Amino acid sequence: MELTPEQTAEIDAQRESRATTRRATVPDLEELLFQPIPLLDHGFVRVIDYMGDDAAIVQAARVSYGKGTRRVQDDAGLINYLMRHRHTTPFEMCEIKYHVKLPIFVARQWIRHRTANVNEYSARYSVLDKEYYIPAPDQLAAQSSSNRQGRGAVLEGEEAARVLDILRDDSERCYADYEEMLNEDRDGNRLNENREGLARELARMNLTLNTYTQWYWKIDLHNLLHFLSLRADPHAQYEIRVYADAMLETVRRWVPITCDAFTNYRMGGVQLSAHGLDVVKKLIAGEAVAQEQSGLSKREWRELMAVLGRDA
């Protein structure tokens, strides 16, 4: 990802600006504020603003004034309890705002999480940059034979080269046609003074879904953690997972106690159904259990055995 001199100057100016405040601030996150974290080939995510910290969660849970308990281990114990028992409202007291640059097809997947405030770059008002996502060769994979929304083996050799050529050629051609229909470039200059050009809101429909868009995305901590539990999961699509992984690191800087509880109880833990718990109890007791008598489907049984490190 390359920033223009104007963008770099804007970020430098934001980072040089200082404001006095009585509200809680987090030095580790302040250090990262406004800086873009490069992702994919042209994308980024950067923290623009935030409200609250670990102490705010504790304060909200106890509905008290001040900073909650005096000892960090007491705050950690309460946050672990809240996370373990899925209490949500104390985590909603913290909010964070990101500026994200991402391919349109990732944005359409991302927007399914309807719990944030979003303002996206308008291609009705402005001309989109000539930037589009081309996957790295190690991300060119065939359709999975066992997962309808997953990937299988990585393509290699001539087949991979042909796919990359198609992606580049289609993206270049569609953007060239986009400019031709607009009859203007990114700076608003007419390409041909003798014709008008198509309206921006119509010309944009010709762009490929790997074209980059941008948005500001503000969300409370509870709903952010839900987003990350799904999108930072190893089974999530790679192109959205890299954004989620980067955002998880910003959460670690922002609310480290909460992030530790989240990775322990949500990312690293499992939820058992009543039938699944019954199977575990029987295994602990040394009883033989078969899938057919367990009340679990074959898929549920495989997943449970994988979690327990046993052969299905």
Residue 159 tokens read as 């087949």
Cα separation, 69 vs 295, whole angstroms: 45
Cα separation, 67 vs 60, whole angstroms: 10
**CB contact at 8 A, 3 and 46:** no
Residue 90 tokens read as 């104390």
DSSP, residue by residue, 91-123: GGG-EEEEEEEEEHHHHHHHTT--SSEEEE--T
Cα separation, 141 vs 152, whole angstroms: 6
Please give the backbone phi and psi of residue 282, each rounded to the nearest 5 degrees, phi first.
Answer: -65, -40
pLDDT for 220 equals 98
pLDDT for 63 equals 84
Radius of gyration of the CA atoms of the chain, in A? 24
**CB contact at 8 A, 212 and 103:** yes
Residue 165 tokens read as 């050529």
Q: Look-up: residue for tokens 């991979």?
A: 160
pLDDT for 199 equals 94
pLDDT for 35 equals 96
Short-list 261, 312, 238, CA closest to 85? 261
Cα separation, 242 vs 288, whole angstroms: 42
β 37-39/141-143 pair status: unpaired
SS3 at position 285: coil
Instruction: For residue 219, list its beta bridge partners.
Output: 96
**CB contact at 8 A, 254 and 28:** yes
Which residues form the catalytic set? 231
pLDDT for 308 equals 94
Supply the pTM of this predicted model: 0.91
Cβ contacts of 104 within 8 Å, gap of 6 or more? 207, 209, 210, 211, 212, 213
Please give the backbone phi and psi of residue 66, each rounded to the nearest 5 degrees, phi first.
Answer: 80, -155
The CATH number that domain 1-131+210-269 falls under is 3.30.1360.170
pLDDT for 194 equals 85
Residue 295 tokens read as 């009340």
**CB contact at 8 A, 51 and 95:** yes
Please give the backbone phi and psi of residue 17, each rounded to the nearest 5 degrees, phi first.
Answer: -70, 140
Short-list 236, 228, 227, 231, CA closest to 147? 236
**Structural domain boundaries in the chain:** 1-131+210-269, 274-308
Q: Which residues of the chain have pLDDT under 70?
A: 64-72
Residue 289 tokens read as 């259990």
